[in-house]
Amino acid sequence: MANLFDTIKQTINRSWDDRICIGVTGLSQSGKSTFITSFINQIQKHDAKNARLREFVAATNHRIHAVKLLPLEDRALPLFDYTRAINGLSGDTPRWPDSTSDISGVLIQIELKDGRKTKKVYVEVRDYPGEWLVDLPMREQSFAQWSEFIQRQLSEEPRRSFASNPLAALSAVNPFDEYNDLAAKKLKYAYCEFLRDCKAHSPSLSLLQPGRFLQPGAYNGHQMLDFYPLLSCVGFDEKALKRAPDNSVYKVLEKRYSQYKSELIETFFDDFISPVEKQVVLVDVLNVLNGGKHYVDDMINALDMIGASFRYKSRFFSSNIKEVMYIGTKADHVLKEEHDHIRDLLSDIVSRSIENIKDHKVAFTSEAIAAIRCSQEVADVDRPINVLKAHGDDGSVIKYEPPQIPDHIPSSTREWLAFDGWRWPKLTPPKGVRVARDQAIQHIHMDYVIQKLIGDLCK
């Protein structure tokens, strides 16, 4: 009843107010929480002395009168913890905001000067783990089809080389055997461990299904998640599988898989994604370059599947998304002359995804940004080039020469070799962010993104 009341209230507010709903997602470690923290901070501190919002017209025209953060009307949706994130950044040892592990949201109320009057506009930001988005294609797949897809994944590089690859153990299960809960849990655990390894690997893989095995959110430990891909289905006729006894491994896992699809995937998209009008997809293209061709291909497939969600339709709902903004993050890890190359590379990576949904009247843009800028470009001591200075993982000052970034997906071995044998240094947030001193966080091109997302609303 409370949910219904929230939904009605939200629907009325949406039609009544000047309001926009922005969905923020991205692949693992792409910086979703950091992006939202900076997004809120830039708008809130639009008049700070160190604010840099030249592209955001409402700020340069001094039209913003006041900014307030409110919870969303939907009580089931936790409030994005901006205070915690900003406090972490402004401490003596600054730390990055906690990564997104569940859905959350925030309503930004912006009071604009409108002649002698003021008017209020609302920006609704919805944050959700990108892992959940890659589950979407599972809707169209039967359990047997999905198992076959995972079987192919596990047999090919780069997953084949992972020590924890459970291909052999999962292939040994006979689908017609009687279901044993303990054995099933062991196999599910082994599969989860493998997924976690794939995610923890540097660079991490992107297309990891089911997403809730990595980010269960509120469903941690739920029986609905107790299934695993039954690789031995491959080779069996689906009709034969359907004739399996009700207590067989196949029937039990198939039932849970169907439940996962209907109760988690469908419900999540119908409830959470349906109001989204502008979608931000964050991508860490730099990190994946290190992994080589297989990792880039994996990311392309994942983004392709995420793209599919923008043309998503169900019985009750069709996607409301009108604009998708692909954002290449961590632009501060390279020299300024490479920013356009990050953007072009990202455009190349998402080109297939865009091609697939071109007819769905969705507009696309791409940009390279650093939501929180944590490096400085300085002249090298010995050579006539610029290098980057930043705080490394342990907080000490480091200096490095970043490589060139290609403006397209590398095609030759020579091009890939440039990213072999080294890793991007982990940088810590800049020191000197002080909430009490009314400061804005330094960034790269966040003003452009803000203008693109809410410029029309703040006209």
Residues that bind another protein (CB under 8 A): 47, 49-52, 54-55, 57, 60-62, 326, 331, 336-337, 339-341, 343-344, 347, 350-351, 354, 363-367, 373, 376-378, 380-381, 383-385, 387, 389, 391, 396-404, 407, 418, 422, 425, 430-433, 437, 439, 441-442, 444-445
Q: How far is the CB of 126 from another protein (least distance, A)?
A: 23
C-beta closer to another protein: residue 190 or 362:
362
Residue length of the chain: 459
Whether the CB-CB separation of 210 and 138 falls below 8 Å is answered with yes
The tokens of 50 are what?
A: 């160190």
Q: Which is nearer to another protein, 167 or 362 (CB)?
A: 362
Write down the least CB distance from residue 290 to another protein, Å: 10
Q: Determine phi and psi for 325, rounding to 5 degrees.
A: -115, 110
Contacts of 288 (CB under 8 A, 6+ apart): 203, 206, 295, 296, 299
In the bound state with another protein, the residue whose beta carbon lies nearer, of 275 and 430, is: 430
Shortest distance (Å) from residue 95 CB to another protein: 16
Enter the tokens of residue 27. Answer: 């692949």
Minimum gap (Å) between residue 321 Cβ and another protein: 16
- Enumerate residues 6+ apart whose C-beta is below 8 A from 192: 213, 214
| Nearer to another protein (CB atom), residue 230 or residue 296 | 296
The tokens describing 305, both together, are 């599947």
SS3 114: strand
319-to-9, 206, 307, 309 alpha-carbon distances in Å:
21, 23, 11, 8
Paired sense of beta strands 18-26 and 64-70, if any:
unpaired
Q: For residues 153 and 353, which CB has a smaller minimum distance to another protein in the complex?
A: 353
Distance in Å, CB of 72 to another protein, minimum = 29
**Minimum CB distance to another protein, residue 366 (Å):** 4
Smaller CB separation from another protein, 13 or 376 = 376
| Helix ranges, 201-248 (H) | 238-242
